[in-house]
Amino acid sequence: MMDIRLKKIIEESESIVFFGGAGVSTESGIPDFRSESGLYFARHKYGYSPEEMLSHTFFMNKTELFFDYYRNNMIYLEAKPNQAHIALARLEAQGKLRAIITQNIDGLHTIAGSKIVYELHGSVRRNTCMKCKAKYDIEYIMNFKEMIPRCEKCGGIIKPDVVLYEEALDEGTVKASVNAIGNADTLIVGGTSLVVYPAAGLLNYFKGKEIVLINKSETGYDHRATLVINDGIGTVLGND
Ligand code: ZN
C-alpha cells in the first residue's frame, strides 16, 4: 500500500511536478558516481576524482582518459526503468503530473514513457559532433572502435550532450523547470539530498501547497516539507 498521506496528496493535486536525483537511478542499478565508493574507485583506478574527470577542462585536455572513465562508469545501457519511473509515467498519463525535472543523465524517464522531462544535466543518449554538429546516439559512441568517438562525416570529436562541471546548464531547460515548479500545486522531490547544484535553488520557485520529500536519508529541506518519507523512491511510488 502506498503511504496513505502521500496517496491523499496525489489525489487532491492537479499539477504535480517531480524533481529527482541520483536515488531514482540507483534503484535501476546505476551507481551514483558521487557516492563514497564511486569517489574511492575513481581516485584509486584513475588518480582523479569524478568531478575532475567530468569537467570541461579535463574533457578538452585529457579527452582519451575522459572517455575511458565516461564509457566505463557513466553508461549503463542494460539498465531498465524501475517502479519509480513507471509510476511517474503513469501519473503523467492520468493528467496528474505536469513535468519531471531530473538531475540524472540516463534517459530512463523517457524510456518509461514520460513525455515532459527536463534533464538539467543533459543525457548520455544525445551526442553532438563538436565540428559539424551532427547528432549521434549512445550506441554509436559505445560501439566506436577507438576510445575517442569521432564523427563519420567530418572526423570531429563527438561530445556527449551532458553538462560537465564548469559548464553552464542549458538555459531553456532551466527556464522550463522554473516555470513548471512555479505553476505546480504539489512538488514531489525524490532520491536527492538536495545538495547538488542547482536543486536547492530551483525549489525556491515553488509557490504551491504540498512539498513531499522522499529520500533514504534526511535532507536539509525536511523542515520545509509537508511530508517526509525516508525510504527508497521506487518502493514508495511503486506501491499503489
Ligand atoms: Zn562532424
Confidence of residue 86 (pLDDT cuts 50, 70, 90): very high
Q: Does 210 have pLDDT greater than 70?
A: yes
Closest CA to 217 of 4, 23, 19, 9: 23
Mean pLDDT of 87-111: 97
Burial 195-208 (b: 16+ CB within 10 A, else e): eeeebeebbeebeb
Mean pLDDT of 99-109: 97
Cα(127) to ligand 1 centroid in Å equals 11
Active site residue 56: no
**Tally of residues, the chain:** 240
Which of the listed CATH numbers 3.40.50.150, 3.40.190.10, 3.30.1600.10, 3.40.1360.10 matches domain 125-162? 3.30.1600.10
Cα(148) to ligand 1 centroid in Å equals 13
Q: What is the pLDDT of residues 123-137, one digit of tens each?
A: 999 999 999 999 999
Cα(109) to ligand 1 centroid in Å equals 29
Q: Does 2 have pLDDT greater than 90?
A: no
At 240 the pLDDT is: 66
Closest CA to 129 of 103, 155, 104, 148: 155
Minimum mean pLDDT among 34-38, 76-80, 88-92, 202-206: which range? 34-38
Mean pLDDT of 86-104: 97
DSSP H/E element including 97? strand 97-102
Spell out the CATH class of 4-29+81-121+168-238.
Answer: alpha beta
Sequence-ordered strand ranges (E) for 130-185: 135-136, 158-162
Active site residue: 44, 56, 85, 121, which one? 121
Percent pLDDT > 90 in the chain is 86
Mean pLDDT of 21-30: 95
Confidence of residue 22 (pLDDT cuts 50, 70, 90): very high
Q: Does 200 have pLDDT greater than 80?
A: no
Cα(71) to ligand 1 centroid in Å equals 20
Any idea where the domains of the chain sit in the sequence?
4-29+81-121+168-238, 36-73, 125-162
Report how far apart, in Å, the C-alpha atoms of 212 and of each of 66, 105, 142, 176 are: 37, 23, 38, 21
Q: Mean pLDDT of all residues in the chain? A: 95
At 110 the pLDDT is: 97
At 199 the pLDDT is: 74
Q: Does 196 have pLDDT greater than 90?
A: no
119, 108 in Cβ contact below 8 A?
A: no
Cα(153) to ligand 1 centroid in Å equals 5
Q: What is the pLDDT of residues 28-82, one digit of tens each?
A: 999 998 888 889 899 999 999 999 999 999 999 999 999 999 999 999 999 999 9
Centre a 10 Å sphere on the Cβ of residue 72 and count the other Cβ atoms it contains: 10
Reported pTM: 0.95
- Nine-digit cell string for 139: 550506441
